[in-house]
Structure 1
Amino acid sequence: MYVVIVGAGEVGTTIAASLAADHDVVVVDVDDDRVESLKYDLDVLAFVGDGTTLSALEEARVDNADLFIASTDNDQTNLVACGTAKTIGDPFTIARTKSVEYLHTWKRTENAFGADFIVCTDLLTAENVVRVVGLPSAIDVDPFAGGLVQMAEFEIGHDSPVAGQTVAEADRFDSLTFAALFRHGEMILPTGETVIESADRAVVIGSPESVQSFAMDIAPDATPDSADEIVIIGGSPVGYQTARLLEERNFKPRLIEQDRDRARWIAEKLPHTMVMQHDATDTEFLSREHVDEADIVVSALESDEKNLLASVLAKRVGAQRVISIVDSGDYVTLFEEIGIDVAINPRKVTAEEIIKFSYETVAENIAVLENDQAEVVELELTADSELIDRPISELVSELGFQLVIGAITRDRSFVTPRGDTRLRAGDHVIIFVETRYVSDLTSMV
């Protein structure tokens, strides 16, 4: 597939790195340094140019492109770039925006701005936060098969009941599959005899009920029923969208916003959210408002430095769990190393959403794990697929790479994969596989 990407920032570079091995990728950016860096780091064609202009897009041969991605940090630039691309050829165009308003406009006709799809960073990030809130002991949650299946990643605490157990002992649920363990940066595809260690990150795939039950086993005190007190620090677009989505799920969060006008506006828009106009870095205020008793604190201020300070203060005063929005991917590890429970990077979330479109409709859904080491891929099997009509145990043993079939849905019903299970045409199969083997897997569908 021939792909043109406008914007060589963190999102564009992540997308280019993911696609470069299997596709012809061209990247256009106005910044000389970014372009030079890409030329040396990735196997892509990169050049300096304004992606909103005909001349730059003609040089990028957009008339031959299958996929056009506008991923700069400027909403208007991305929308204009998509419109310009449509005057040259007919690629599938994707625009990245932060503003939900552009998404609402696009949804009215789904061809506004020349964009075939719009990825809204603020909304995607808020949705990720809310999924984690709904499964408090998880650090990552993704739905598959229309919600019939969940993939969740958990960090095993030193005091977790499953630390020291084998996978067979920890897996007591009929519709749950242990897909992988990540230990000190290394990936392990576990057997029943594999021992789960504290600080491991465990990836499980199964029905939402089984994933929820497993979460309760890992951390009995961190269940959804206990997440009554949710505090959002910052009325940024992500903070606002998070509160709005929580209201839709019948939560009643509290939100702290320092700007008086912004606080008033949010209070008028969100009747079930208690909005407090104050500085969230004031520890006396945090104690007075019982933030120390919060089950979950979401730090959604508009700079990483402020989020870091607010998150540390929330942990220090005693908040049970802190989720922080981290705009720079370089800071995610820092937030995690100082004890922040979950660090969500909007740019990574956006890149993952856009990368889904590179599978040319083969993959229904994907989730990228642990710095792109592995992916969870949802595939709908065709009658010609090499994966059907054979027992899973036989199929997996004959492949030239390892994978884990985590779940199957058939006719909108959940099917637990076992060694003697045979896949059928029309099945939706959720598979855990190393990123480097994704193309090999999708070619078999």
Structure 2
Amino acid sequence: MGVGFFRDADWLGPRRARGYLWLLALLNLASIVLLTGTSNGGIDRHGLLLGSDFLSFWTTGGMLQVQENIYDPAAHFAAQQAFFVQEGAHTAFFYPPPFLLICYLLGFLPYFPALAVWLLATGAVYFATVRLWLRRSGIRWSALLILAAFPPVVITVTHGQTSFLVAALLGLGVLLARAHPLLAGICFGLATIKPQLGILIPLVLLVTGEWRVIAAAAVTAVLLGLAATAAFDPAVWLDWIAVSETAQAAMTGGLIGFGKMQSPFAAAMLLGASPQFAYTVQGLVSLAVTGALCRAAWRKSFSPALGAAMLAGAPLATPFVFDYDLVLLAFPLIWLTGSGFRRWEKLIAAGAFIAAAFARPLAMSFSIPIMPLVLAAFFIVITRRALDESNDRSPAPSPRIRSGARLDAEPSSA
């Protein structure tokens, strides 16, 4: 087994890759069936409520309907405990006021019907966006199979998280930016319900001069904020700012759990670094990501390649990112597969696809943070390809590199 085994990864051809996808899909499905099938009254065998994080969104909806302060941690904790009591369990709520418009609607339904509606609705939007990316990339594989096998998908489902919705909005924004800038801007503006994943978007849009997208995004975000202000009182913004300071303290103090987070900051803290050093590491990584994107985008037009690099860099650019947020990686993975693989790229893409299945267990049980390294390698691959494409370089590399080898193309022999 030489270097070429890993460098070219010829063993990971279309048929074997499809087999692995089926295996992962069956394992993911089995884990969900086991989790729900062994639950009792909506409580799993570990004593946790099904949907876990969704309890925070649903509780917020109920509190809004009786005009309680949802950004009061004590009141929010009491509201959660009124529905589901577990010693020390509390899913904090740090989302900005525009997200309250969605939470308010969720509060009209009982918990489990609301969870089902939430996952079906946001999952459908995400599924449709993935299908659109596959079609634009010329990949004929089943979106359902790919998503059923993708570990961040099952993590999002079991947590009842917002990741499907936010990833779909960002993915749609990238695809629509050139042909439909106003629609793209609306998507980016709506994605501000989870702002930490979109901090690179204004940078890339500014550098590439996508002014109509920027204007539409800004107007959408402002209108969304005004709607939240009108619906829930202007003081809600001051309450959110106050609880945001609590969120940073909770993150630095490890109350959220560094093993659950997948950022360079969390990795440094997990390895015993001081908060100051961990923030320095995060700052340097964020600056490196920003610089690489600026170089790739300088004096160029916005393209799916730049958008893929922007999405691949998003989890690295923020200290506050979790494994379920990595559903966002589906889009740069699709773009890379459709463009064909060069040396090492197939192996790195496979690692980015599967790593979320192991990242949290390794971090929480053995204090081994693998995800920032995987994300960094993947971002380098995508950004290098985006830079090559934006410079109109030939896609054909030296003879030693098997460029254009697409994972979805059937080989001539087994």
TM-score between both structures, scaled by the size of structure 1: 0.26
Larger Rg computed on CA atoms: 1
Higher helix proportion, which one?
2
TM-score between both structures, scaled by the size of structure 2: 0.27
Higher strand proportion, which one?
1
